[in-house]
Structure 1
């Protein structure tokens, strides 16, 4: 029965005239995860937001699903990622490459979103059927002038609630970005990144 419901849902969301509602990140109230390690790095973190590398608008595409336009990826970086990393660094600034760099020792961060995609199904046993969205993205931190990254995260995030109708895209996509931040913080804790970056400049 479940495969039939999933197929019918895919057909309902793919038929002509049933466009998916666009998603606006600025209208979300994204929940910020709390790291297990709350000690802050003393050096400033400068997250470079380069529009030539990270567009503000992307489209989630998937087989059998109408495209979902996502507006405001820069808001995800400027607001949500900034708030998340502010728990880990005493100062976090987000700006374009042309922004004057902080004085003294500082670290730079780079965000890339490689793809947004959608799929019809479930997230595993016991989860509801629907349309889910995936995001492949990365976040790197490097001490300015250093030859190698001090911290690397590359991962895939997924929405944790399904899109069940064309007008339920916004809450589903909010859980996608929350999942992305949660996985980032978990990786930061697991890699013991504080111990490594706190020694920079010592």
Structure 2
């Protein structure tokens, strides 16, 4: 088993890439030990990842969250999320609530704002000293910014969330309020962290 914190972290960083490339060259699925000492199985092969994403038996929840394996200490990304017994129904309900906000017309209307956000991030990237991490500077913050633009009452909040992840709890409360406004308060979104 590989014991490597670099393999267990989410995201991509320059120091992690050589380890991931080495794993990819050795096959699509690998047993590793996470930063907190739990067993994990990163999947590095495209087809294997697609199959697992399409497999309804796999999810983000766990029947016994306090005893679930964790990848790290992060409250948001380190372990299971949601209600195990209702995960599928919650997912379907969340999709049905959010899908109208991701319609083709809404996406076309949002295009100028997304282009402005991307241009701003690229300008920020150009001001940095080389080498830079494209994932950290663009690939991670851009989707967060776009989702904030779509769903949060304060679209500019994505910058604050990026700089201070502890603000996520307030953002979730704001998202719940915003969703209540969008849905007339008829549903209770299953947002858990």
Pairwise TM-score range, normalised by the shorter structure: under 0.3
Structure (1 or 2) with the greater strand fraction: 1
Higher relative contact order (CA 8 A, sep 6+): 1
Structure (1 or 2) with the greater helix fraction: 2
TM-score, structure 1 as length reference: 0.26
TM-score, structure 2 as length reference: 0.27
